[in-house]
Amino acid sequence: MVRETRKDNAVRLFCGWIFLCVAGVMWAEHSYGQDRSQTRSMVISRNGIVAAESPLAAEAGVRILEQGGNAVDAAIATNAMMGVVEPMMNGMGGDLFAIVYDAKANKLYGLNASGWAPKGLTIEYLQKQGIRSMPQQGVNAITVPGAVDGWQKLADKFGRKKLADDLAAAIRAAQDGFPVPEWTAAYWAGSADYLRTDDTATKTYLPNDRPPKVGEVFRNADLAWSLEQVAEHGRDAFYKGEIAAKILNAMKRHGGPMVAADLAEFSSEFVEPISTTYRDWTVYELPPNVQGLAALEMLNIMETFPLGQKDWGFASTNALHAVIEAKKLAYADLLKYIGDPRKHKLPVPTLLSKDWAAQRAKQIDSDQANCEAAAGETPAGNDTTYLTVVDREGNMVSLIQSNYELFGSGIVAPGTGFALHDRGGLFSLDPASPNALAGRNRPLHTIIPAFAQQGDTRVAFGIMGGWNQSQAHAQFIADLVDFKMNIQAALEAPRFSKHTFGGCDVMMENRIPQKVRDELAAKGHKIQLKGMFSSDVGGGQAVMRDFVTGVNYGASDPRKDGQAVAELP
């Protein structure tokens, strides 16, 4: 009898142990085992959020929010810091575009802070030098940098803090230095030979005659001085003051056509965003001279296909084929019809219309890739940084800023600490093109901020990367709308990118299933396989505001070194 009791007790103990183990596993799976492809969660807060490609830049923006600034103040602070910590991508020597949502007025504002060509930089000027194609580097690729004037316009119209306050963190970082992060070090290392083509660029960016390594502290006293000049004297320091004098001396030394009036007479401008509907969302981009119209035309074409429905799911052969083909058609129209609207009458309403998209969609063959997409006939008549901010009141900023290529033109004016961009490289030397080079024209721009809304939900977002941007924007919106992803998952989702305008080549991340890639190849797509999270498909940031609950959401692309950072209560 005693022996049986002991046996019964042992059985009870064993069964109890098994129950606890099973229950523990089930509890652990329920609590922790989130089986998802998303690498990180959204940042969620009732206070402001800044999403940027650098944690230091995001922190600079958050600090301004905590000191009483609004989303625009934070965006300027973040952008200025990005110019310090990622100097190859952006800075005072580049251009800027922004979309601002004013929550109190419930209104969107667009800012075009892209510079014009010097008055003397013309097709004829280049031809006399024996130049037959638009220079991509050097002094003849430099247009007037618009970023600093953009900061001033944004601060004057929307900011609560002084411009000097917004720039303070960047000035300190330039003076004291910062440890170089991984992605930045890789970009820097790849640009070493290019930087050596200019003595001042070498002195500024190659301390000890080499690019800084991961974790090394890099200081830029000249850039701190330039930022201090703008903090003290505003935009005039850059376009009329001591910085301007240094830029003009560099132009003279390199034999460039830029003169004092080109800088002094420049002004950025506020513009009305353009938009289209996609399903039950409205998506906004800036009007030409930027490529944002191609994203909207892509979405209009994509809307004619049943993305998200049976056999048209995420990363399916049907969906990817339709979106890739829509890209080709929209970009062909972009290349033919888009330029500076101040100098040409552009068919923007036609290209934005649903009728135009329906006509273009009929040209997509469901069984065959189009290797030579042509522009439609209308009736007569790379390197970049993106950041976004939402504040506790619901004001939102979508801002993008760029040198164009890594370290821009490769020219640094002595004493300034920043590279002058090479945005003029995007001009055409075809006199019949709306994007033809001419004095005081602005070139077609790749960089685009974006915005979207549905009811009381608003999203400010952008994905950088040259000609990647419009196609990446369209994929992001499809991920949100058709495939029901949150903003973090939509940024992380595998993407394709086609940087060329002709041919059937297309880059694709290897997370897209092999079976789908094989089926696309059978349709004629020539797939260039990339890694899991490839920089070739761009990196983005996003913030979202639910105006019913007053809750903000932030997301940051793992293809970059950045993060979304929430303001402390």
- CATH number for the domain harbouring residue 73: 3.60.20.40
* Three-state secondary structure string covering 465-527: CCCHHHHHHHHHHHHHHCCCCCHHHHHHCCCEECCCCCCCEEEEECCCCHHHHHHHHHCCCEE
Instruction: Answer yes or no: 384 catalytic.
Output: yes
Give residues with Cβ within 8 angstroms of 563, minimum separation 6.
43, 51, 52, 55, 58, 556
Question: Does residue 377 surpass a pLDDT of 60?
Answer: yes
Identify the pLDDT of residue 15: 41
Please tell me which residue, 219 or 337, carries the higher pLDDT value.
Answer: 219
For residues 202 and 193, give the distance between their C-alpha atoms in angstroms, rounded to a whole number.
9
Identify the pLDDT of residue 378: 55
Question: Does residue 352 surpass a pLDDT of 90?
Answer: yes
Q: Decide if 110 is inside a domain.
A: yes
Q: Cβ distance 444 to 435 under 8 Å?
A: yes
List, in sequence order, every residue forming a beta bridge with 453; answer none if it has no partner: 282, 458
- DSSP-derived secondary structure letter, 287: P
Mean pLDDT across 344-360: 93
Give which of 370, 139, 138 is closest to 251, Cα–Cα: 139
Q: Which amino acid is at 181?
A: P
Task: Work out the pLDDT band at 279, boundaries 50, 70, 90.
Answer: very high
Please tell me which residue, 144 or 344, carries the higher pLDDT value.
Answer: 144
Identify the pLDDT of residue 38: 85
Q: Cβ distance 391 to 71 under 8 Å?
A: yes
Give residues with Cβ within 8 angstroms of 98, minimum separation 6.
75, 110, 111, 113, 150, 154, 397, 398, 399, 400, 449
Identify the pLDDT of residue 24: 40
Task: Categorise residue 318: left if φ over 0, alpha if ψ from -120 to 50, beta otherwise.
Answer: alpha
For 508, how many CA atoms within 13 A lie in the half-sphere containing its CB? 24
Give residues with Cβ within 8 angstroms of 373, minimum separation 6.
325, 328, 329, 331, 332, 501, 502
Joined tokens for residue 338: 């888009």
**Which domain range does residue 433 map to?**
48-291+338-345+381-495+538-569
Mean pLDDT across 428-448: 94
Please tell me which residue, 20 or 363, carries the higher pLDDT value.
Answer: 363
Q: Decide if 192 is inside a domain.
A: yes
Q: Decide if 194 is inside a domain.
A: yes
- How many separate domains does the chain show? 1
For residues 139 and 119, give the distance between their C-alpha atoms in angstroms, rounded to a whole number.
14
Joined tokens for residue 27: 């509890």
Give 173-230 pLDDT, tens digit per residue: 999 999 999 989 999 999 999 999 999 999 999 999 999 999 999 999 999 999 999 9
Identify the pLDDT of residue 383: 64
For residues 232 and 210, give the distance between their C-alpha atoms in angstroms, rounded to a whole number.
33
Give residues with Cβ within 8 angstroms of 208, minimum separation 6.
none
Start-to-end Cα distance in the chain: 67
Give 7-55 pLDDT, tens digit per residue: 444 434 334 433 333 334 333 344 444 567 788 999 999 999 999 999 9
CA dihedral sign of residues 139, 142, 148, 153: positive
For 343, how many CA atoms within 13 A lie in the half-sphere containing its CB? 21
- Give the other-Cβ count within 10 Å of 122's Cβ: 18
List, in sequence order, every residue forming a beta bridge with 411; answer none if it has no partner: 420
Query: Which of 122, 204, 276, 384 is labelled catalytic?
Result: 384
Identify the pLDDT of residue 68: 97
List, in sequence order, every residue forming a beta bridge with 403; answer none if it has no partner: none
- Give the other-Cβ count within 10 Å of 535's Cβ: 17
Give 388-432 pLDDT, tens digit per residue: 999 999 999 999 999 999 999 999 999 999 999 999 999 999 999
Q: Decide if 500 is inside a domain.
A: no
Identify the pLDDT of residue 349: 93
Q: Cβ distance 421 to 95 under 8 Å?
A: yes
Ordered DSSP codes for 431-452: TTSTTB--TT----B----EEE
Q: Decide if 447 is inside a domain.
A: yes
Question: Does residue 5 surpass a pLDDT of 60?
Answer: no
Q: Decide if 523 is inside a domain.
A: no
Q: Decide if 317 is inside a domain.
A: no
Strands (E), 365-456: 383-390, 396-404, 411-412, 419-420, 450-454
List, in sequence order, every residue forming a beta bridge with 563; answer none if it has no partner: 52
Q: Decide if 199 is inside a domain.
A: yes
pTM of the predicted model, to two decimals? 0.91
Identify the pLDDT of residue 553: 98
